[in-house]
Each structure stands twice: as C-alpha cells, then as structure tokens.
Amino acid sequence: MDQVLLKIIKILRKLSIKPVVYGSFGVSYYLGNFKQFSDLDLLIEDELINKWDEFKIFLSSYGFVLINEKEHEFIFDNTKVGFAKKSILMRDKIICDYAELIKYKKTGAYIIRPEHFLAAYRFSLKDGYRVANRAKKDQEIIDKLVEYIENKK
C-alpha cells in the first residue's frame, strides 16, 4: 500500500497537491499494520473537489478508473482510492487549524496526530452508515488509538 501511496503522491505533486493521508491506512502510521488495508483515503484541497470534472480528467490521464462518482472513489494500481475535502477536518472539529497537520514521512504529504484520528473515529460513530456497517471495526480502532496515546504519555 505504501508504494501505491507514493505513486499517487508523485502524481498529485504535478498539481502542487499535498494530500492528507486519512482513514485506517493513515492510522497505521502510528499503530503499524494492525489490519489488512483495502483502500486509501486522501484529503485534498476543497477546490479540487469543487472542480471535480477537471480533477477527474487529470486522474484518469494517469490510470485512475472512477468507480464511485458520488464518493469520489477510483481504482488505481489495484487499490481503491477515495478523495474528500480537507475542510472536513475543520468542519468536524478534528483539528482547529491546518498548522496542526504534520508531515507524512518524507513524501510531501501530511497526516494528523493520533489524538486527531481518535477524534475523527469518535465523530464517525455519529454517522448513520458507519454505525450500521462499521461501528464494531471503528470501535476497535478507537480502542487501539486510546491504548497507543496512553502508552505515549
């Protein structure tokens, strides 16, 4: 999954995009490979989602195959990749300021801190779809994050 992510970051760099690695793969930055990852979730500048048709064409020119227009999901290199607006971090009160983002390895991408992932997963428990379909798995990630944060103190 890391190699696919690096390829995607390199492609996004052509548009000066520095994505935020999000979702369970983002959590693995702290917890390690705690599960089998089936997708990559990347947060990008809102204007790219707002200019969706142009961004979609750009991605397709690099081999991304759109699989879900509504969810902004593609297949790239046999991996499902979802894009969402970076502003969800502020909207959902996961972070207070983009200055809280930290560099993801030496890739030109960003990630949020473990405490922010914890806030994001706790927030997700309020989402109807996630509660119905992912509550147990999300709770397991929350428990792992709590343990990780406690052990870092």
CATH of the domain at 69: 3.30.460.10
- Which pLDDT band holds residue 152 (cuts at 50, 70, 90)? confident
58 occurs within a structural domain: yes
State residue 44 phi and psi, 5-degree precision.
-130, 170
The single residue listed with the structure tokens 């890391």 is: 2
H/E run at residue 74: strand 73-76
Query: What is the Cα 101 distance to its own chain's centre?
Result: 13
pLDDT tens by residue, 37-62: 889 999 999 999 999 999 999 999 99
**For strand 73-76 and strand 109-111, is the pairing parallel, antiparallel, or unpaired?**
unpaired
Helices (H), 21-113: 23-31, 46-50, 52-60, 88-91
Q: What is the pLDDT of residue 133?
A: 53
Within a domain: residue 142? Answer: no
Residue pair 120/30 in contact (Cβ under 8 Å)? The answer is no
Q: What is the pLDDT of residue 73?
A: 96
Give tens-digit pLDDT for 115-140. 999 999 998 877 654 455 555 688 89
Give a yes or no: residue 153 inside a domain. Answer: no
Tens-place pLDDT, residues 5-21: 999 999 999 999 999 99
In a domain? residue 67: yes
Tell me the whole-structure pTM to 2 decimals: 0.91
Residue 57: its pLDDT value, please?
A: 97
